[in-house]
Amino acid sequence: MLREITLGQYYPVDSVLHRMDPRTKLLGTLLFIISLFCANSWLGYLTAAVFLAITIRLSRVPFRFMVRGLKAILILLLISVSFNLFLTSGEVVWQLGILKITREGIRTAIFMALRLIFLVIGSSVMTLTTTPNELTDGLEKGLGFLNKVGVPVHEVAMMMSIALRFIPILIEEADKIMKAQMARGADFESGNLIQRAKSMVPLLVPLFISAFRRATDLAMAMEARCYHGGEGRTKMKPLCYRKRDRIAQVILTGYLCLIIGTRFIA
């Protein structure tokens, strides 16, 4: 039931992208998004499409997982496309009452749609190839300089990774308790709003108790292993850039130059 909700969307296969340093992937995603806003011609978008296609191939994640994220932005996509389509002024190609479509409108609408779609697929490539924990690690290390201005980067990252770790555990726990109460005839689905809210009590009370129990257990276990915050703490698997990261950085730079270049060709 509940366990079918997977958190994040990490897809476990082995590929160059999976093995890459999370910082490279974060940077890459950022650069890719910037490049989408730089592109302003068919050639620019074609370059981005080719780049994206190659990345998807390299990730070895089935394409249908990439497009799942698109469902969430479908409405946004429709709105932005229709706004651009109908509200751009220029050479009119079709008119009905006050609705008119211009050549420029079609062009911006298509570019806008492509931009959004590429953006979502591009970030999916990152989340599908990086576990949430690697992501927090990457953010912690990548944003480490913020420590200097008093942001507790390590603590925030630690809280994030504990939260991420706990969500599936609590979902599983909720699923178990729900089933146990259903075995005693509990009904979580029918009834009016008040009845339903009341029927959550047998689920929520045990869930809270278990969450608190787990939290104290974890705190105890961390203390027992001498955890004392980020200072001087080393990692079992320290992030380090490898050859493939350097190569990726060079390719990314080349790609960004190429996109900027297309602005001048067209």
Q: How far is the CB of 99 from other proteins (least distance, A)?
A: 42
SS3 of 216-259: HHHHHHHHHCCCCCCCCCCCCCCCCCCHHHHHHHHHHHHHHHHH
Closer residue to other proteins in complex, CB, 177/248: 177
Give the span between the Cα atoms of 206 and 200, in whole angstroms: 10
Residues in the chain: 266
Closer residue to other proteins in complex, CB, 4/91: 4
Closer residue to other proteins in complex, CB, 104/175: 175
Give the span between the Cα atoms of 133 and 253, in whole angstroms: 27
Closer residue to other proteins in complex, CB, 88/181: 181
Residues in contact with other proteins by CB under 8 A are: 3-4, 6, 11-12, 65, 173, 176-177, 179-187, 201-202, 205-206, 209-210
Q: How far is the CB of 2 from other proteins (least distance, A)?
A: 12
Closer residue to other proteins in complex, CB, 68/246: 68
The two tokens of residue 144 are 């480490």
Give the span between the Cα atoms of 14 and 58, in whole angstroms: 10
Q: How far is the CB of 88 from other proteins (least distance, A)?
A: 41
Q: How far is the CB of 262 from other proteins (least distance, A)?
A: 36
Q: How far is the CB of 136 from other proteins (least distance, A)?
A: 22
Helices 22-38, 42-59: axis angle to 10 degrees equals 160
Dihedrals φ, ψ of 37, to 5°? -85, -15
